[in-house]
Chains A and B, each alone.
Chain A
Amino acid sequence: MSKDTLFDKVWDLHKVSSLPGGSDQIFIGLHLIHEVTSPQAFGALKDKNLTVKFPSRTVATVDHIVPTDNQSRPFKDNLAEQMIETLEKNCLQHKIKFFNIGSGSQGIVHVVAPELGLTQPGMTIACGDSHTSTHGAFGSIAFGIGTSQVRDVLATQTIAMNKLKVRQIRCENQLTSGVYAKDLVLHIINKLGVKAGVGFAYEFAGPAINVLSMEERMTICNMSIEGGARCGYINPDEKTFSYMKNKLCAPKNEHWEKALKWWKSLKSDEDSIYDDVIKIDASKIEPTVTWGITPGQSIGINQQIPHLDELSQNDKLVAEEAYEYMSLKPGQSIKDIPVEVCFIGSCTNGRISDLRVAAKVLKDKKVSKNVKAFVVPGSEKVANEAKQEGLDQIFKDSGFQWREPGCSMCLAMNSDKLIGNQISASSSNRNFKGRQGSPSGRTLLMSPAMVAAAAINGKVSDVREFIN
């Protein structure tokens, strides 16, 4: 059993009681809500005649269903309009702060909370969205919950949960040029498997993690859930604190000093005990691309799609399913596979640094005429910053469409969808069957830089040929 890790410390700090069944009652320091998983929770509150216990500890934004072409109200899609109206009504009624479209702070919930300074070390953070693990990049313990638990957090600011085990993933050495946080996390998921993290929190550590920016750390923690771990985190350091300083909701003045002192005391002890430790050599990782229907089915850009006999017994069944669905053959190179749609965005890779990297690749280049390419900034703040830097113009000049912020084609709840069996190069997080809106659509996950390279060449390409 783990001892003295950051996870243990934060868990113990937030434990309210041991419940009769044997699980723990955990206080949730920050609750984030959005339009998709909250309406039924508010409905349940009403049915049970309950109110929101601490409205100040819940913050809302709208992201999943928002159109990215025309955000004027009412939305063209009646169901989407009904969902945003329901959220507006619930927030108003329960006095919950709502960052709506046009507020300057709307965006994907996991982009918005960190950039507002809401996400802080040592907190417990919950949201009805599996990518809540993103916030662990700040040394918070953050995890996705279902709608019944959203109801519980609204009503009690607590949830019932069994304590997770802790696996440290030590990333040794450094990533090489043209290899990004996305490649590292795809590689980790491939090595450990998509279910290895079930029952675990992942602590990402080591030299290759320490040098990452906060936004890169968010990319890593974001995809913990794709490895089965509902929570992933990184011990906070000076980078964490300097990222938060002066953010809208971060502590100010004497409160900042107090906060800093407390945050600095928060980390896994040198001699802390983990349930498991895994080592990864970051220097050996190539730009990584998924070829299948789970985020674990990935290979380096110069590798071939694996044959069945190279896979473990457990992975064979889903590999066979993947060959068929993706119309790809074992032994085939991932490089040069033609792509039809290129998507840059999502809570994994829709932040300003992601847009900067992609724009650098695209500058003075043109998107292949066979490709539909679009970029969806993660938030209004990201969009504004990108415009100030002229990135929007670089994207537009290259042939990318510049869109309004939202989740967009990561899960295709708005009108941004693949058509038929189109194949996309995507900076998002899931390549599940049908994930991007067409029941036969195909997704290749990769870093934003790799998406930009694929857009230019019209096929999967090695971004290192563009930047070196």
Chain B
Amino acid sequence: MKSEFIPPIGKITQINGQCISLIGNDIDTDRIIPARFLKCVNFDSLGESVFKDDRATLKGRHPFDLEENKNATILIVNSNFGCGSSREHAPQALMRWGIKSIIGESFADIFYNNCIAIGIPCFTLPKKSIQEIQKYNDNKFLFLEIDLKNSLAKSKDLHLNLEIKESSRKMFLSGEWDATSALLENEKLIENKFNDLPYLKFNTHLL
């Protein structure tokens, strides 16, 4: 395993790192972290189990096992990455392995939300650009400098205009991607809603 895991905190404006490519569409969260590793009451030891079964099948040839990728922090994926289960264990496992950002053709909804909620910015690029990056990365190290303010990624050979949901981008720049505090600020409004919702009046037996 790598050096000690430090979770992201506060503003995220810049991510610089080496890329790791993982080719395939519809890579689901069961593959990212098989269900047997969900038997835990914290996320601490998930990093070593990321892609456990895919890695075992490829006997050391999986991108997450290659020596040259061991310091990679930016994951390059294809379409519908993270489909399936809502398990936050999936991005938690990726993050604990060392991934800090993901660039892909597209992401599944819940997986994307989970990434944002734990501080992993996810960007999209057209299929052609992703394939070009993956091809480039196939035989060469690729280091990218991601600038969230301008949604740009640069290397010595590449200059990429990344797409990211504006709400996500703003949250990372302001450091408010950990939503709890922003939600708590509206405590009065939440209580008003609780008192106003029609069905909470006729479901009083639950209160």
Contact = CB atoms under 8 A, between A and B. Distances in A.
Given A249-B206, A259-B199, A146 B114 contact: yes
A225 B165 CA distance: 21
Given A20-B176, A145-B86, A439-B57, A65 B39 contact: yes
A72 to B, nearest CB: 19
A230 interface: yes
Interface stretch (A104-112, A281-289, A426-434): A426-434
B205 interface: yes
Nearest to A296: B26
Nearest to A129: B86
Interface stretch (B9-17, B69-77, B189-197): B189-197
Contact of A83 (B41, B167, B194, B207): B41
Contact of A230 (B109, B165, B170, B176): B109
A167 interface: no
Q: Which of B54, B118, B171 has the most A CB atoms < 10 Å from its CB?
A: B171
Nearest to A321: B24
A48 interface: yes
B26 A195 contact: yes
Given A13-B197, A29-B197, A439-B57, A433 B31 contact: yes
Contacts of B118: 148
A156 B184 contact: yes
A146 B179 CA distance: 13
A131 to B, nearest CB: 9
B59 to A, nearest CB: 12
A77 B40 CA distance: 12
Contact of A148 (B23, B34, B80, B88): B88
Nearest to B109: A230
Interface string B108-147: 1110011001100000000000000000000000000000
Given A53-B190, A434-B53, A411 B109 contact: no
Nearest to B166: A22
Given A195-B108, A252-B205, A152 B25 contact: no
Contacts of A97: 206
A440 to B, nearest CB: 8
Interface residues of A, number: 89
A29 B30 contact: no
Interface residues of B, number: 71
Interface in A20-62: 20-23, 25, 27, 29, 36-37, 39-40, 43, 48, 50, 53-54, 56-57
A317 interface: yes
Contact of B204 (A13, A161, A199, A255): A255
B200 interface: yes
Contact of B199 (A21, A48, A122): A122
A82 B199 contact: no
Q: Which of B40, B201, B202, B204 has the most A CB atoms < 10 Å from its CB?
A: B202
Contact of B39 (A17, A80, A432): A80
B185 to A, nearest CB: 9
B150 interface: no
Contacts of B80: 194-195, 198, 228
29 contacts: A20-B174, A21-B176, A39-B42, A79-B39, A79-B40, A128-B86, A145-B110, A149-B114, A152-B183, A156-B190, A157-B194, A159-B179, A195-B80, A198-B80, A198-B106, A225-B84, A262-B202, A294-B26, A294-B28, A294-B83, A314-B79, A317-B25, A318-B25, A318-B26, A413-B36, A413-B39, A433-B28, A433-B54, A439-B57
Interface of A: 13-14, 16-17, 19-23, 25, 27, 29, 36-37, 39-40, 43, 48, 50, 53-54, 56-57, 64-65, 77, 79-80, 82-83, 86, 97, 120, 122-123, 128-130, 132, 143-149, 151-152, 155-162, 194-195, 198-199, 225, 228-230, 249, 251-252, 255-256, 258-259, 262, 293-294, 314, 317-318, 321, 411-413, 430, 432-435, 437, 439-440
